Amino acid sequence: MSNVKTFRPAKKRIEVTVGESVRIVRELQELSQGRLAALTGIPQTTLSAIENGWVNLGVERAKVLAKALNCHPAVLVFPGWEIELGSAA
């Protein structure tokens, strides 16, 4: 028997924007904006604008970036998404 009585989800500590999620995942992969630009064909200036919130990511760019970053596009597009426990998608 476990000493854990009930499950309590972790508290959210910070809000992450779409641009910040792109930057975080990129940095975790140890990629520069220039290298990511070369992998995706998205100009480095556009990547910078996305990360700074000056340009919307958009679905098509999210797909291209997610493929290069080896993650699901939803990780980039919906960084703060939460689901209720017990619900199914």
**pLDDT tens by residue, 58-75:** 999 999 999 999 999 998
Q: Could you tell me the pTM of the whole model?
A: 0.75
pLDDT, residue 86, reads: 58
**pLDDT tens by residue, 8-64:** 776 667 788 999 999 999 999 999 999 999 999 999 999 999 999 999 999 999 999
CA distances from 42 to 13, 36, 59, 75, 88 (A): 31, 8, 14, 19, 35
Specify whether the CB–CB gap between 38 and 64 falls below 8 A. no
CATH dotted code for 18-77: 1.10.260.40
